[in-house]
A and B are shown apart, each in its own frame.
Chain A
C-alpha cells in the first residue's frame, strides 16, 4: 500500500501495478523465507537472518518492525506478530524519493522517515529522548567492542546531549533542566543531513524501470 503512492502521471497504471508486483513478489518470497512459510512473523523469526547478527543495533531494528507506532496501529505498544501487509508498511519507510513529488509531499515524506528513526531512539514512547535512552543508543552502537568500559559510551552520550541542548535551547542557566530531545528538536538536529536521500534501500526504487518505458 505504501508503494502504491508513486503515481507518476506519465506511467500507465498497469505498468505501476506490474512494477509493484515485481517488488512485492520479491519481498513476499523474502517474507516467506524469514517466517518459515508461516503467514506471520515473530521476533524469533529474525534469527534466521545470519548477517543480522553482526549488526550492533539488531535489537532496535527488530523491535522497530513490531512497534505499533510504525505500523500505524496504535500510539504505543508492541505487536506480537506481523503479517505481510505490516512488513510492507515498514518497508515503505525506506522508499527513495521520487522526482514528481511536490514540496508538501517531500516534507511529509521526510517527516515520516524521521519519525521512524525517532521511534527507534525513544523506546519508552514518551515522546522525547531522555539522557538514559540516548546513553543506551550509544552503548548499543559501541556494543561490538567488548573491551570498552561503559563509562566511555556514557560520556559520549553526555557530550552529545549537551550539544543537542545547546543547539535546541541555546544558552542555559545552571538551574535550567533540559528534559530530553523532542521530535521538533530532533528535526532540528537532522537539518544538516539529507535524510530523504540517505534513508532508502535502492531496490525499492521503481523509477529506472518507469523511465525506460
Chain B
C-alpha cells in the first residue's frame, strides 16, 4: 500500500490535519468544563461567571462557551443584568450546550479515536514499527497534556465505564470467534498457566515487594503484607486487551496465540478472587485459615459460577434464535443483548464476568449460526469487530489521558523493583510451568515458544482500573500503586509490544498459516476422529476422543433438536460444512466473475475428468433447506443482476438503424461468457433440478438443455425477448414494467410491451424468510416476481418483422 508519489505530501499532512481538527473540536468542550450548567434557573443572574459571559441575556443562555457568547446580541429592551424578568423577543438562534453535553462529549471522544485509527493507517511506515496501541497511548498523552495545558482537568478512565462499557465488546468479540478446537485441545495447558501462573506471579511479587518495603530508608515500611499482596494480584494478571492488540499484528502461529490469549481470558477468575480477598482483609492484617479456605472455595464458585451463568444465557439465546425466521432484522441484537446480560448478571453476583461472556458466546454460536440468516451472521461479525475495535482504541487513548490526569507519587525504589520483579516472576513462572506441562503434552513447547509466552505477558487497562477502584481511606498509598501500575503497563506495551515483532522474525517463530479449509480435509479429519474413537473403544481407554464423541452424540440427539429450527437440526456436520463451502465459492465466483471472466483460481476440473463413463447428470445437491437455497439464489441473482445492468447499457442507445451486426456479435460474446459462468456455477452449485421444471428456468440453465433455444409455442410461460433500440423509453421504465408484473404469477403474453434488453421471468414461490430491508438496489423487486435478465439465445430463426429485423418474439 504505497501512497502514490505525487500525493504523498498531502497524505502525510492528512493525519496532522485530523489531529488539529479533532483538537479544535475539543475547544468548546474544554471551556464548558469550567462553566456551571444551570438548566433550570433561567433567570439566574449572570454575575456568577462574569468573566466568561459578557453581554448575554440571563434569559435564554444557560452555559455558553466563551467565543460563542459574543455572537448573542443583547436585546434592545434590556436595561441591566438583574433579577427582573422581562419580555424578550423570540430567540432566533440559541445555544443550549448542557442539553447535549454528555452525548456530545462521548461522540467527540469516539470520533477522535476513530480519526486517530484512520490517521495511523494512512502513514504505513510508522505503524509497521510501532504497534497501534503505543501510538494510541501517545495520542492520549498528547490530548491529556493539551487539556491540562488549557487549564481544565482531563477525564480519567473511570472503572465503571471501563468495566461496563469498554471491556465487554472486546471480550465478546474474542469469545464468539474463539477457535474452539485449538482452545479445547490446549485447555489443560491454558488453565495451568492462567490459574497457577497468576497465583505464582501474585504471591511472588507481593512477597518480594513486602520484603523491599521492609528495607529501612525507603519510606515504605507502612505498607503491610496484605496491601502488597493486593498490589501483586492486581498487577500480575495478563491483560486480554493488550495481548489482542499486539498479537493481532504479529501473526504468530495459532498454538502460541491461543495459549497466551486463553491465559489472559481465564485468569480473570483468579484476579477477581484475589482482589476481593485481599481488599477485604488488607485492613485486618490477619488472615486466618478459614479465610484461606473460603478464598479457595470462592475461586471455584466464581469461575464455575461465571461459566454456568454464561451457559444459561447462551442456551436461552440459542433457543430464541430458533424462532426468529420471520424477523431476521433483529437477530443480531439478540446475540448482543443476551451476551451482555450474561456479563452483567455475573458481575452482579461478583462472579467472573469475562468467563460468563466467553461461555455464552461459545455455547450459543453453533446453534445461532445454524438458525440465523447469512446477512445476520455478517452483521454480527462486523458489529462485533467494529465495537471491539473502537473500544480498544478508546481504552488506550484514555490510558494516556489518565496518565496525565491522575495524581502521581513517584517512589524510585518501589516502582523500579516492581518492574524488575514483574519480569522475573513472569519468566520463572513460564519456565517452571512449561517444564511441568511438557510431561503431559504430546506437542511439546520449545524454548522459543516459552520465550514468546513469557514475553507476551502484557499488562493493560484492567490492572489500571482495578487499581483505580481502591479507595483512599483504606489504601493511602493508592497513588503510588497507580503510578507503579501505569509504569509497568507502559513498559510492557511500549518496550515489549514494540520489540516482539522483530524478535519473532529474529527467532523465526512459526507464523500463522493461511490454510483454506477444504472439503477433503474435513472428510479426513472426521474420518480420523471416528477412527481414533474406535481404537480407544477397542483399547478400553476412555480418552479425549471417547468423551468428545459422547458429547457429540448427546448434542445431536437432544440439544440440537431443541435449539435449532427445522430441518437443520438433523444436518450432519459434513453437510453443513459442504454447504458453507459451496456458498463461499459461489459468492467468490460471481463476485470475481463479473463480465464472465473466469478466475484462474478455479480449476478446470469437472465431472468429465473424474468420471468419464457417467453421463453428465444433473447433480442434486444434498437437501438444501429452502431458506438456504433462497439465500444462495438471491446472492447469485444480485450479483448477476449487477452484471446485467452494466451490460444493458450497451444495448440501449447504441442500437440504432445499422450496427445491428455489431450488437449481435457483442451479444453473442456476452452470452457465451455468461454461459461459461453459468456452467461454472452449475459445477459447484446446482439448485435441485426438480424445483426448476418451468421451461424458463431450464432455458436459464444454459448448457443443460441443448435444445432450449427454440421458442416453445405451446407453453404460455414464455419469456418475452424484445429489443427495442429506438425506444424513447428510459431504463427506469423497465423497472416500472417489472413492478407491474409483480403481482402476477405468470407472464402476461403481451408482445407489444416494449421492454429493454432481454428479459426472462422466473416463477418461484416467495420464501418467508427474506428480509426485505437489506435488499439493495432499486431494481430488485422485493416480492414474488424475480426478474432475471439473462442473455439467452433468442432463437435460431429470428422472425424478421418490419422495422425490427432482429426481434424474435415468443408467442
Smallest beta-carbon distance A192→chain B, Å: 5
Given the interface contacts A141-B523, A158-B610, A171-B604, does A205 sit within 8 Å of B442 by beta carbon?
yes
Given contacts A57-B527, A152-B575, A160-B523, contact A201 B534 (CB under 8 A): no
* B610 x A141 contact (CB < 8 A): no
- Min distance, Cβ B509 to any Cβ of chain A, angstroms: 17
Q: Is A106 in contact with chain B by the CB < 8 A criterion?
A: no
Q: Is the CB of A174 within 8 A of B523?
A: no
**Contact residue among B444, B521, B533, B606 (Cβ-Cβ distance under 8 Å from A174):** B606
Whether the pair A177, B530 counts as a contact (CB closer than 8 A) is no
Contact with B along A169-213 (1 / 0, CB 8 A): 111111111100000000001101100011111110101100110
- Tell me whether B443 and A61 are in contact (CB under 8 A): no
Chain B residues, Cβ within 8 Å of A174: 604, 606, 608-609
Q: Is A165 an interface residue when CB atoms closer than 8 A count as contact?
A: yes
Residue interface bits A37-62, CB-to-B below 8 A is 1, else 0: 00000000010010110111110010
Per-residue contact bits, chain B 599-615, to A (CB 8 Å; 1 contact, 0 not): 00001111111111000
Interface-side segment among A9-17, A76-84, A89-97: A89-97
Q: Is B553 an interface residue (CB 8 A)?
A: yes
B538 contacts across to A, CB distance below 8 A = 30, 34, 46, 49, 52, 61
Q: Is the CB of B610 within 8 A of A200?
A: no
A147 within 8 A of B: yes
Q: B539 contacts A30, CB within 8 Å?
A: yes
CA distance A55 to B548 in the complex (A): 13
**Cβ-defined contact, A193 with B543, below 8 A:** no
Residues of B within 8 A of A141 (CB): 523, 526-527, 530, 574
Q: Are B546 and A159 in contact (CB under 8 A)?
A: no
Supposing A61-B534, A96-B442 touch, asked if A27 and B539 sit within 8 A by C-beta, the answer is yes
A101 interface residue per 8 A CB criterion: no
Q: Does B129 contact A (CB under 8 A)?
A: no
From A55, A94, A138, A161, contact of B537 by CB (8 A): A55
User: Are A120 and B531 in contact (CB-based, < 8 A)?
Assistant: yes
Q: Does B799 contact A (CB under 8 A)?
A: no
Does B620 contact A155, Cβ atoms closer than 8 Å?
yes
Q: Do A171 and B610 have beta carbons less than 8 Å apart? A: no
Q: Is A74 an interface residue (CB 8 A)?
A: no
Determine if B520 and A160 form an interchain contact, defined as CB atoms under 8 angstroms apart.
Answer: yes
Q: Is the CB of B531 within 8 A of A170?
A: no
| Chain B residues, CB < 8 A from A193 | 521, 524-525
By beta carbon, the residue of chain B nearest A146 is B570
Known: A58-B534, A156-B622, A189-B520. A201 touches B575 (CB 8 A): no
List the B side residues contacting A175 at CB < 8 Å.
Answer: 608
Whole-angstrom distance from the CB of A208 to the nearest CB of chain B?
A: 5
Interface of B is mostly: helix
CA distance A198 to B539 in the complex (A): 17
| Complex Cα–Cα for A181 and B543 (A) | 32
User: Given the complex of chains A and B, what is the CA–CA distance between A52 and B549 in angstroms?
Assistant: 11
Return the contact of A152 from the options B443, B519, B623 (Cβ within 8 A): B623
- What's the Cα separation between A164 and B522 when bound, in Å? 13
Contact A201 B541 (CB under 8 A): yes
Return the chain A residue nearest B600 by Cβ.
Answer: A171
State A207–B513 Cα separation when bound (angstroms): 30
Check A107 for interface membership: any CB of B closer than 8 A. no
Q: Which B residues, 574 to 624, have Cβ-Cβ distances below 8 Å to chain A?
A: 574-575, 578, 603-612, 619-623
Check if A192 sits within 8 Å of B521, measured CB to CB: yes
A200 — which chain B residues lie within 8 A by C-beta?
442
Tell me if A104 is interfacial: C-beta within 8 Å of chain B: no
Question: In this assembly, does A73 line the interface, its C-beta being within 8 Å of a C-beta of chain B?
Answer: no
B553 and A99 within 8 A (CB): no
- Does B439 lie at the interface of the complex (its beta carbon under 8 Å from any beta carbon of A)? yes
- Contact across chains for A117 and B528 when beta carbons are under 8 A apart: yes
Q: State whether A177 touches B541 (Cβ < 8 A).
A: no
User: Is the CB–CB distance between B524 and A147 below 8 Å?
Assistant: no
Is A152 within 8 A of B622, CB to CB? yes
Which residues on the B side are within 8 Å of A177 (C-beta)? 609-610, 612
Among B518, B532, B604, which residue has its beta carbon within 8 angstroms of that of A172? B604
Q: A170 touching B575 by the CB < 8 A rule? A: no
Known: A141-B530, A197-B443. A156 touches B572 (CB 8 A): no
**Among the listed B518, B534, B540, B570, which residue makes an inter-chain contact with A57, where contact means beta carbons less than 8 Å apart?**
B534
Q: How far is the CB of A18 from chain B (nearest CB, A)?
A: 18
Q: Among B520, B536, B575, B606, which residue has its beta carbon within 8 angstroms of that of A148?
A: B575
Residues of B near A167 (CB, < 8 A) are 520
A201 touching B605, Cβ below 8 Å: no
Check A166/B605 contact, CB under 8 A, given A49-B538, A201-B539: yes
| Cβ-defined contact, A201 with B535, below 8 A | yes
Q: Which residues of A contact B439 (CB under 8 A)?
A: 207-208, 211-212
A58 CB → nearest B CB, Å: 7
| Smallest CB gap from B513: residue in A | A192
Provide the B32-69 mask, 1 if CB < 8 A to any CB of A, else 0: 00000000000000000000000000000000000000
Q: Is the CB of A202 within 8 A of B544?
A: yes
A22 to chain B, nearest CB (A): 13
CB of A203 within 8 A of CB of B541, answer yes
Task: Report Cα–Cα, A156/B440, bound state, in Å.
Answer: 38
Q: Which of A111-153 contact B (CB under 8 A)?
A: 117, 120, 131, 137-138, 141-142, 144-145, 147-149, 151-153
Residues of A within 8 A of B537 (CB): 49, 51-52, 55
- Structural contact, B605 and A61, CB atoms closer than 8 A: no
Q: Is B715 in contact with chain A by the CB < 8 A criterion?
A: no
Asked if B515 lies at the interface with its beta carbon under 8 angstroms from chain A, I say: yes
Best-surrounded residue of B526, B528, B575, B609 (most CB of chain A within 10 A)? B609
Contact A201 B536 (CB under 8 A): yes
B549 to chain A, nearest CB (A): 7
Q: Give B531's nearest chain A residue, CB to CB.
A: A61
Residues in chain B near residue A105, CB distance under 8 A: none
Nearest A residue to B515 via CB reads A192
A174 to B523, CA, bound (A): 26
Minimum CB–CB distance for B554 against chain A, Å = 11
Q: In the bound complex, do residue A170 and residue B623 qualify as a contact, i.e. CB atoms below 8 Å apart?
A: no
How far, in Å, is A123 (CB) from chain B's closest CB?
14
In the complex, which of the residues A153, A162, A198 contacts B609, with contact meaning CB atoms closer than 8 Å? A162
Q: How far is the CB of A137 from chain B (nearest CB, A)?
A: 7
Interface residues of B in 532-575 (CB under 8 A from A): 532-541, 543-544, 546, 549, 553, 570, 572, 574-575
- CB-CB < 8 A to B546: which residues of A? 51
A54 to B525, CA, bound (A): 18
Q: Quick one: which of A148, A156, A162, A199 contacts B607, CB cutoff 8 A? A: A162
Cβ-based interface call for A163 (8 A): yes
Known: A51-B546, A96-B442, A172-B604. A155 touches B539 (CB 8 A): no
- For the complex, what is the distance from the CA of A149 to the CA of B619, rounded to whole Å? 12
Measured in the bound complex, the distance between the Cα atoms of B541 and A197 in whole Å is 18
Question: Closest chain A residue to B440 by CB distance?
Answer: A208
Q: A161 CA to B518 CA in the complex, in Å?
A: 11
| A162 in complex: contacting residue of B534, B535, B610, B621, CB < 8 Å | B610
Cα(A193)–Cα(B575), bound, Å: 21
Given contacts A201-B536, A205-B442, contact A156 B541 (CB under 8 A): no
CA A173 to CA B606, docked complex, whole Å = 9
**Are B519 and A160 in contact, with the CB atoms below 8 A?**
yes
Inter-subunit contact B528/A165 (CB<8 Å): no
For residue A165, which residues in chain B have a CB less than 8 angstroms away from its CB?
603, 605, 609-610
Extra contacts besides A26-B540, A162-B609 (16): CB < 8 Å: A61-B530, A141-B574, A145-B572, A149-B622, A152-B620, A155-B619, A156-B523, A156-B574, A158-B611, A159-B519, A173-B604, A174-B609, A175-B608, A189-B521, A205-B442, A211-B439
Please name 14 pairs of A and B residues whose Cβ atoms are closer than 8 Å in the assembled complex, sorted by A.
Answer: A57-B530, A61-B534, A96-B442, A117-B524, A138-B574, A141-B523, A148-B572, A165-B610, A166-B603, A169-B605, A172-B603, A174-B609, A199-B532, A212-B439
Q: Which 6 A-B pairs have the closest CB atoms?
A: A152-B622, A166-B603, A61-B534, A51-B537, A166-B605, A151-B620
Chain B positions near chain A (C-beta within 8 angstroms)? 439-440, 442-444, 513, 515, 518-521, 523-528, 530-541, 543-544, 546, 549, 553, 570, 572, 574-575, 578, 603-612, 619-623, 684
